[in-house]
Structure 1
């Protein structure tokens, strides 16, 4: 390859080289240096010529030829024939159409026809007018050669066409200043502009619809694009949406087919170390329909979400182990356990289908594996079977390898896929068959020579007419410097190509161009379109030119561009909402096709209006009014239902979040990137480490050796590595391990400071204490106030005790690896966990003992350690707390799930932001006022708290 290695990856380069090689073959002359038709660095062009030589050698070795070579061969075979009547069928005259850029093969046949004595007619595009000499300069040598062969020239009369179109064709490229030859008529000409993309597609669809409404047959409308792009595909899609049948003569790349995409994704999974994200994408792919018993699209999507929730980034065994962990975690939860169980079964079947791929095999065996995967995953079961088309092309390649003596060569799965992808890049999906009564859509080159009553030439943006490549050689010319002949010929060819489009229409041409891009910035028109507008006088231009730089989102300013049923509904709804004009929506609602959809729209508008009316909360902001639903809530969350403190805090923070999470049981879709930190897992690891460290000294009477404990935990972490870990897994684990070690060392510092400030009065008594859960040592906490009751369960990180001899005092500690709540949040009853835990310790753990609460607090692992919060009147605070908690549960059981979050900006991070309407509620000025208690909690520095304990009756001196 040499110098070509640097350009092979450039977009379109392979196609360009292929066209260059075909041109060399058609010219029947080996490429040589110094050819002015070539462009680019000499070393690259030299390498291309070497590739061409190698290519021809390989074709000879195969005893084969390509399509350009077959044309040359066929011309020579026909030219050797004594009688051309047989091969060309019949004895009459032969007509040769479009003889504008003949190859040597075509000249050879033409010469043989002249010699045969048969009648011969050759048609070519040419105009002898001197003012058009620049346009037809490339045709003059061809015309002279045909006359030299003995052909007699006959000028055909120009067809009768609308005056404006005829003037445009005659005057557009006429020599002399634009002002000297003005186009004064507009008949047969229309120039339309609209925003790029959807706007331009709507403009094209409107023009087609108006022609059809005027009685023009669909077969007499031809829509052309300079090249097939996304804009062309969007125009076809818009025509279909407007109910206009259209057939596109577009060779879509086969690789864009959804079935091909699914097979490529599946085939890549073993090569990408069984990356979880790829597995999830495959299971969610609509083309994957495996014939596995009991599995359907919903179960596959559920399995994908469950695998994502396992938080394993790659590795077949690692994914299965992650699902096993989920099963154990949710063993007591029937629904979640069955989901994890089902997901593991799906993963096993999928891995079983893919695990044999990554092995060396012969080419044909690898093709068979590709077919097997498509079959086992239920891909390509439609009638078109694009995957089979790909495999057939791979079979053809297998035949080529056999003829090259490479039958027994073994291919790795990676090298096979790379070669198969290269072959796929060259394949096109079959074009749709023309449907009778449909408008044809094609590129200019595809429709070369075709005529139609009306031609719409769309997407005339800068760089289309003339093509950028044709004007490249003109850009570097100095004033007065003549262009190279090849450059001049290329530009003349573009002018002639544009005139041929104008000449292909019998009744009229519509030229469409994009006015602005997606950001509203003005775009330049095609150069020839600008030339045409400059040639037109103001009257003609005013009659035929219409442009819109922008469109209203609901097309309120462009009813003529709302052609689909969806467009009509959107516009009618916008008219009703923005202008109060309900006539359009009433008219649509009267029809069966629109009514069902508009009923949903009406319900949404009704809900939105109710949210914005007044400042009181209603049924559309989370207040459940249905009596049966309230009774069901009261039954489900009744006295026998245990709560956790975190659930109550969630309800107090945002009732609607509680509703989504604990009533509807919606499971958020986790889209965490593999490099994102898992804060939940990190917090769990920290709790486990701190528990083990503190447990070492739980009953130690002497001085704890915290540094030794830290070293032991660091050593334990260093000896634990993920099994079957990839390099990325090891890197992430090393980062996580380093952060844990840093936190351990910081905790040791905090712990020593805590011990110095508290002296020997406080020491851990219990760690990670469970109460209320299945198998826990202690029962649930029962909270009662008359007939109202609540059962509470939880897990307390740590309980420290002081002064056991003269009446114990305890403190409840909660570790926080992230943000620690403020004392004021505890004082107002917004953070309930620690006060409720203190009540549980007092009533359950120290039941019957003379133990009182000293204080409670959060231990900030990333800040300054323990922050005590004490209560001046704990006995009254407990009564306030009981009333507060039971009031919350009463509201919950009564169906109060108002959309009210205490955290501003929650819509940017909440797991349930996709189903919440908090912004609408806030814009309406709705605020929900909680009746919060005022507890006697106050923050104290740790040293002051220790002194207070010491000075208190019964405290240690």
Structure 2
């Protein structure tokens, strides 16, 4: 055996390749020449071996990993008769075994169902095998603990459960499979007798340490081969520490420990050790002395400072990871364009790709950088994997909403997304789940917008929708229903694993999944996305292999679909794809220990923070550090502790910093992904001590720096974004440098630049359109949309006056939010209105007066009404679940409390309800519409429905009219809002009855009031217990009717004869009205009505002219955007366009009275 000793960049790997090549050239035929490297490095090393051009082909030379060597030996010596049990197959078998032995487990049964636990158990078993530990050694340790009285501790329970599981696993595998975890053990035992390495020469390269299993194999290699060369990354000047003279904190401690182990192994194997080959010169850094300085002095306690600023090293700090990766992309492009590097000569290294892999893939693609993310890709969310999991969950969870639509949205079911959206909206609206999916008859669920009448048959449009829903449902669920029928076939104890797996494959075949994946693969290849193409290809193969594994492992066992789902999920969760780089000239993005970079000239290290570089290793999920130390002291080595792994991280940091030959870039974010501050890595401090003139530079320069902003531009899309930012700043009042306008012209005129930046330019155009307040749709289009006669509701006018675009979106485009199967505020209001309306109507039907009812009689009637209405709301939603039955109790309690206080208005007042739910507009049995003529000859016809009309016949024979509007909460009538047209409804209702109420109240009608009546169950906050006799007056304030009433003291007296505070207006002892009360004289009511007509006239004229501007109002702190459903459509952004609001003047009641009095009955608003 001979060691090849040298530090990073000294040419160890190249020396191994050169010696192997020379031996192959000298004697093309002969004993094997083997280069043994880590599994993940085999592809790059083979590429380097053949890429030099010195070997036209290879017969003797072989690049192998330990696993591949084991396969070669098994192939020659026998032992491949049984199929291997893959990691995924083992996880699924473990899941089934844990379920089977659940009652015998002491600890694992508590966490066996948690995601990822099976994978951790499999990893622990693999680690124990690699350290040559089996269930026997675990039981010996458990016996020792029990002898010390510690058998019932957590460690004892873990040893017991692991030994039990390993025993069960071994019994299950025996005679059925070969265990890949035992491959190296078998290799060590059979290598010599196989004579595979007889006369061979072996080079071992790329390892920093070996497991006990691998050391046993190396011992057999030493005894079998003619010569073994092992390269180790140890500077020759550090070798004096070998033989146990190094501490765990030494930088090269992991490799020195490996050297000691190999020397001991050679002695035990009777193998002679030749003098080491020392490689003293850092050949890699011949053209970059700064990097040689890093390799030599990085972790030394005393090191000379580098004179001046280093030209080939950069420190970069970014605000966040995204900015950091974007800066790295620009640096890569600079290295390629200005330094002449190839993409394949650039390595991007992160200690953990979890936070950087996806960002690098996205941002590098945006910059046009070909990149390969070197990681095993999880396919847990691939459509095929999601389809399998969701299909089983549909059966197990009885067709719950989530699994059904996860299944449908995989795009593998042959149903288009538009059809799925239509079906999903219908299902969400009506709360469909469970057996409803399995019924043969078409669904007939329809939303009802009134509760007072029995359901009516579907109209033509509704029936067409129901027919379409039925067609989509039958096509979407047919394969899944067939799958369910096969699973639930009667007359047998239950399906076996083999049968369930067969049914799943039949489902995939019914859906023609293989054909769809092939189509996706072809599409990905056509657009040049080779990684995605290979992913679609590999995932199908891996799923079929998974099916084979589960059938071979558990085929004849009877499992319920629920347990089968758990077993299959354990396999699917661990399903990962290992892809090879699809191109030759690519940036490799990887981790320090996984990625093998050959010929790297520039290394970019991302995420150099205190937390992540080096990372703080977490304790193992099974054994804690204390437990590992305890086992090691007892002679049971189960792997390194987190502290030992931390010392290894220091060496990996050294490897990462010395990987590139010409350039080193180190970057770090100042904040993590959650926004918390992140400190730079200690490595950054060491670098600055080595290079005092090395200063961190920002990843992105400050925005006002125009030259630096242009320097950030690396792609046409970024150019367009930079121009857009500059133009936005110009609109905010800042000066614009002329070059931005020149660049804008370049984008507009250059076809290639315009194509790439079109989306950004469109955004600039949108903001300009927004600044101009939008363009009307035009009178002609408005006439097509609305006609010459605008028949509308007051709420529609309020929407227009709130924001013209809100009206356009809701009433012209008819955009609607998704209706959901839930009891929201509108549904509560609908129920309250219907219940109170029926209460009054049934009193009238039965010839009863409200004021003659006792509270108990009134409540019994209301309780009966609630029972009748409850099933009518949204397909019996209030009876559908415990949650909704609780809401029904809330409704019942609210109506009981509200009815009690609403009755006081009848008991202590003279006004009586004369009609409820009074329609006005174009209905035969209602009041006439409110008509307003427009200057251009058009007309506005207002329609609506008034909750309740009360009246009192005066001594003069006139009717004093009061309109009531029920509200699910406390509401005030603010005259300022009315003046601006934001709250027209209440006073419009009063005007409709006063002016057009002849069919209801023949004769003269006088406005007496317009009031909001709250229907709710408020909680009154108090500071101390309240005496029982004070509770009712206190709560009565919460139920006070609020609005505007006549200033006639007799009318006020008629509304609150006992002075209980039923309304806001109060009378003094002398019979006059308190100052500031919300009252109006008959003239003032006429002035309000005249103003209302002016508002309607102006509003109608603008609507018919096609006004649709994005012009939301702002009145004090309130804006039209606060509760607007159309914000995602208009995208009005007050931060971008703070002056875009239509600001309304804040007005108090005196201001309004003054304005309406001055306007009189004429004029415009």
Which digits, 9 at most, give the CA deviation of each residue in 1:465-504, with x for residues without a partner? 5452399989x99xxxxxx997786565444434444554
* Structure 2 gap segments, 5+ residues each: 1-104, 146-152, 247-251, 489-493, 522-535, 630-636, 730-734, 1017-1037, 1047-1080, 1157-1165
Distance 1:48 1:450 in 2: 44
- The corresponding residue for 1:480 is none
User: Given the alignment of the two structures, is residue 222 of structure 1 paired with residue 382 of structure 2, yes or no?
Assistant: no
**Cα 1:800–1:924, aligned 2, differ >3 Å: closer, same or farther?**
closer
Q: Deviations over 1:68-127 (max 9, x none)?
A: 31222133222223x336xx7xx6533333465345555555555555573443433444
Correspondences of 1:146-165 after superposition (within 5 Å): 146=266, 149-157=271-279, 158-160=281-283, 161-162=285-286, 163-165=289-291
**Do structure 1's residue 212 and structure 2's residue 362 form an aligned pair?**
no
Following superposition, the deviation at residue 187 of structure 1 comes to 7.1
Offset at residue 521 of structure 1 (A): 5.5
Partner of 1:138: 257
Show the 5 A alignment for 1:740-755: 740-755=891-906
User: 1:678 deviation in Å?
Assistant: 0.8
> Secondary structure of 2:1005's partner?
strand
Q: Distance in 2 between matches of 1:839 and 1:726?
A: 38
The residue that corresponds to 1:589 in the other structure is: 748
Asked if residue 203 in structure 1 is aligned to residue 327 in structure 2, the reply is yes
| Other-structure match for 1:410 | 559
Q: Show the counterpart of 1:709.
A: 858
CA positional deviation for 1:821: 4.6
Corresponding residue for residue 79 of structure 1: 192
Q: 1:713 to 1:221 in 2, by over 3 A?
A: same
C-alpha distance in 1 between matches for 2:600 and 2:209: 23
For 1:838-849, list aligned pairs within 5 A: 838-841=990-993, 842-843=995-996, 845-846=998-999, 849=1002
- 1:169 is matched with 295
* CA shift for structure 1 position 439: 2.0
Partners in 2 of 1:266 and 1:845 — Cα distance? 64
- The structural deviation recorded for 1:685 is 0.9
Structure 1 residue 203 displacement after superposition:
3.4
Q: Following the alignment from structure 1 to structure 2, what is the Cα–Cα distance between the partners of residues 776 and 290? A: 52
Q: Return the alpha-carbon distance in structure 1 between the equivalents of residues 545 and 400 of structure 2.
A: 29
TM-score normalised according to structure 2 size = 0.67
Aligned mates of 2:224, 2:686 — CA distance in 1: 47
Match of 1:645 in 2: 794
| Matching of residues 827-906 of structure 1 within 5 Å | 828=979, 830=981, 831-841=983-993, 842-843=995-996, 845-846=998-999, 849-858=1002-1011, 859-862=1013-1016, 863-864=1038-1039, 866=1041, 869-870=1045-1046, 872-873=1082-1083, 881-898=1092-1109, 899-901=1111-1113, 904-906=1118-1120
Q: Distance in 2 between matches of 1:452 and 1:442?
A: 13
Range with greater deviation from structure 2 (217-226 or 179-188): 179-188
Q: 1:311 to 1:166 in 2, by over 3 A?
A: same
Distance 1:925 1:470 in 2: 53
2:231 alignment counterpart: 123
3-state SS of paired residue (1:223): strand
Which of 945, 957, 960 is 1:795 aligned to?
Answer: 945
Q: Distance in 2 between matches of 1:342 and 1:68?
A: 55
- Match for residue 446 of structure 2? 324
Task: Mark the CA change 1:43 to 1:547 in structure 2 (over 3 Å): closer, same or farther.
Answer: farther
Correspondence for 1:955: none
> Contact (CA 8 Å) 1:202, 1:561: kept in 2 or not?
no
Q: Deviation of residue 682 (structure 1)?
A: 0.9
How far did residue 765 of structure 1 move? 2.9
Q: Which residue of 2 aligns with 1:22?
A: 126
Q: Could you tell me how far 1:825 is from its partner in structure 2? A: 6.1
Within the candidate set 635, 639, 652, 1:497 is matched to 652
Structure 1, unaligned runs of 5 or more: 478-483, 613-619, 939-957
Q: Deviations over 1:220-275 (max 9, x none)?
A: 33333323312133123322221111122211111143553465456545655655
1:875 to 1:64, Cα distance in 2 relative to 1, 3 A: closer
Contact kept, 8 Å, 1:228 with 1:443, in 2: the verdict is: yes
Q: How far is the alpha carbon of 1:681 from its aligned partner? A: 1.0
Distance 2:625 2:550 in 1: 43
Trace 1:2-17 onto structure 2 (pairs within 5 A): 2-4=106-108, 15=119, 17=121
User: Comparing 716-725 with 638-647, which one deviates more in the overlay?
Assistant: 716-725
**What is the rounded CA distance, in whole Å, between the counterparts of 1:639 and 1:332 in structure 2?**
31
Equivalent residue pairs, number: 890
SS in 2 for 1:137: helix
1:603/1:241 Cα in 2 relative to 1: closer, same or farther (>3 Å)?
Answer: closer
CA distance in 2, matches of 1:509, 1:623: 55
Match of 2:356 among 215, 227, 231: 231
Structure-2 separation of matches of 1:132 and 1:181: 23
Q: 1:26·1:104 contact (CA, 8 Å) conserved in 2?
A: yes
Tell me the alpha carbon deviations over residues 672-696 of structure 1, each in whole angstroms, 9 at most, x when there is no partner.
7x8x751111111111111221122
Alignment match, 1:446? 594
Structure 1 residue 518: deviation in Å? 5.0
The 5 Å alignment of 1:899-914 reads 899-901=1111-1113, 904-914=1118-1128
Q: Determine if the alignment matches structure 1 residue 538 to structure 2 residue 646.
A: no
TM-score by length of 1: 0.80
Counterpart pick for 2:825 among 676, 679, 682 = 679
CA contact (8 A) 1:8 1:14 kept: yes
- Native 8 Å contact 2:322 2:359 kept in 1: yes
Matches within 5 A, 1:335-350: 342-343=468-469, 345-347=471-473, 349-350=475-476
1:7 deviation in Å?
Answer: 6.5
Structure 2 Cα separation of the partners of residues 767 and 530 of structure 1: 79
* Alpha-carbon offset, residue 892 of structure 1: 1.9
Contact between 1:502 and 1:509, CA under 8 Å: does it hold in 2?
Answer: yes
Closer/same/farther in 2, CA of residues 635 and 190 from structure 1, 3 Å limit: closer
Give the one of 434, 440, 453 matched to 2:582: 434
Q: 1:421-820 maps to which residues of 2 (within 5 A)?
A: 421-448=569-596, 450=598, 452-469=600-617, 490=645, 493-502=648-657, 504-517=659-672, 522-534=677-689, 536-539=690-693, 542=694, 546-548=696-698, 552=702, 557=708, 559-578=710-729, 580-581=736-737, 582=740, 583-596=742-755, 598=757, 601-602=760-761, 604-605=763-764, 608-609=767-768, 612=771, 620-622=772-774, 624=776, 629-669=778-818, 677-698=823-844, 700=847, 703-705=852-854, 707-717=856-866, 720=870, 729-759=880-910, 762-772=911-921, 776=925, 780=929, 782-784=931-933, 787-803=937-953, 807=957, 809=959, 810-820=961-971
Structure 2: how far apart are the matches of 1:693 and 1:156? 101
Of the three residues 193, 201, 221, the one matched with 1:93 is 201
Between the aligned partners of 2:826 and 2:550, the Cα distance in structure 1 is: 52
User: Is structure 2 residue 501 aligned with structure 1 residue 367?
Assistant: yes
